[in-house]
Chain A
Amino acid sequence: MDSSHGKKRMNVEDDDRLSSLQDELIHKILSFIGIKHAIQTSVLSSRWRFIWTSMPYLNFSRDDFFRLPKFSEFVTHVLSGRDNQTKVSSVRLSNFHGKDSDVIVEHIMKYAFSHNIQQLDVACLPQNNVEFPPFLFSSRSLKRLSLTKENFSAYERRYYSSYVFKATSTWELPVITTLYLDGVTLCCDDNTDKCIDFFSKCANLKNLTKLLYGRI
C-alpha cells in the first residue's frame, strides 16, 4: 500500500474517528460508562442509533434513577429493546439497595443467565442483605463472579451485616475460574446440620478470594 493512498484514507477517517471504529471496539469503550449513558449515544447519528442494542456488557447502577419505579421501567426497556440474539458477556450491578430492588436484580439476572453470561459483578450498598436467585449457582457459562459491597469503610465492615447465602446444595458452576467474595457469609440450611462443600463442583476454579466473615 503506498503512503499517499494511506494518508487520504486516514483523512476521511479523521472526520469522526470514534464512529468509524468497528462496533466491537465501540462496545468496549461504552462498557466503561454505564448502560444508561451508552443508550444516550443513540441520538448522535444513524451510526449510533442501534449500537447499544448489541452491547454485550450491561452495567446498571441503581443511582441512574432516583425513584425505583423509573429505574424498573428503565431496566425493562433496556432488556426488551436489546437485540435478543446478542449474548451477554458481562453484567455489573452497582449501588443496589438490597431488598427494594430485589425484583429488578432478579429480572436482570434471569435475562443475563439465559443469554450465556460469563462475568457477573455485584456491588451492593451495605444496609441490607440481598438474596440471589438460585439459578445463579448452577450456571454453565459463568466464568467470573464477584460479590462485593460498595463504599465500605473499615468501620462499616464491622457494624453492618454481610450478604448471607443460605445454600442447601453445592454450587454447580463448572466453568467458573474466578470467584471474589467480599463480606459474604456462606451458611448451610438451618434444617440440616450437614456442612456443605460449596465449591466441590466448581472444577475449574483457579482464583478464590474471600475477605472477612470467613465462615466457609
Chain B
Amino acid sequence: MSYSKTIVLTNYDGETFVVDEVVAVEPQTIEHMIEDGCANTSIPLPNVTSKILSKVIEHCKKHVETPNSNEKAAKADLKSFDFDFVKADQGTLFDLILAMNYLNIKELLDLIYQTVADMIKGKTPEEEEEMRRVNAWVFSCFVGVTCLYFKSKKM
C-alpha cells in the first residue's frame, strides 16, 4: 500500500519523524492540527520524547495497516499487539499516558489505564492499619482489601 502524502513530526528533542498522513491522523490531536491548517511544514510535539514517539508511530502504523474487517484473526492479532505494546516498564507506561493523552488516542489509553490499575495491588500490614484508621468507614467490613501502593522505580 502506498500513501501519497507524508507528514513531518518534530518531537521534544528536535528530532524529525516522517510518517504517512494516514498514519499521522490516527491521533485525534494531529488530525485536528492538519484540519486547522497548522501542519504546513512540520508538526511540533514538544511533549513527546523520541522513544515514546516511535512507539506511538509503531502503534498507529499497526492499526492503519491491519485491514478494518470483522475477521476474527485480524482482530485477535491487533488485540495481542496492543497487549504486548503495554507490557512496558513503568516509566515508559507513564510517558505513554502523558503522550497518548496529549495526542488523544483513546483506545490505547484505556488499555494503559487498565494496565496501571492492575498494578495497583498489594500493600504491607502497616499501610493497611493506617488506612483503616484514617477512613474507618471504608474498612468497617474487611473483605480482602487491596490498595494502591505504587511508586514507580527510577528509570
Contact = CB atoms under 8 A, between A and B. Distances in A.
A199 B138 CA distance: 40
A73 B149 CA distance: 25
Interface string A33-54: 1001101111110001000000
Contact of A65 (B46, B113, B130, B143): B143
A37 B120 CA distance: 9
Interface residues of B, number: 37
A6 B46 CA distance: 11
B12 A43 contact: no
Contacts of B113: 28-29, 31-32
Interface in B97-141: 97-98, 101, 109, 113-114, 116-118, 120, 127, 130-131, 134-135, 137-138, 140-141
A74 B94 CA distance: 32
A36 B120 CA distance: 13
B141 A65 contact: yes
B137 A74 contact: yes
Interface string A10-24: 110011111001000
A191 B147 CA distance: 52
Interface string A149-165: 00000000000000000
Interface residues of A, number: 36
Contacts of A33: 117, 120, 148
Contacts of B143: 63-66
A30 B114 CA distance: 9
A215 interface: no
A25 B101 contact: yes
Contact of B148 (A41, A65, A74): A41
A3 B13 contact: yes
Given A30-B117, A64-B143, A40 B138 contact: yes
A44 B148 contact: yes
A29 B141 contact: no
16 contacts: A6-B13, A11-B154, A18-B152, A30-B117, A30-B148, A32-B118, A33-B120, A37-B145, A39-B135, A39-B138, A40-B135, A40-B147, A41-B147, A43-B147, A44-B148, A77-B137
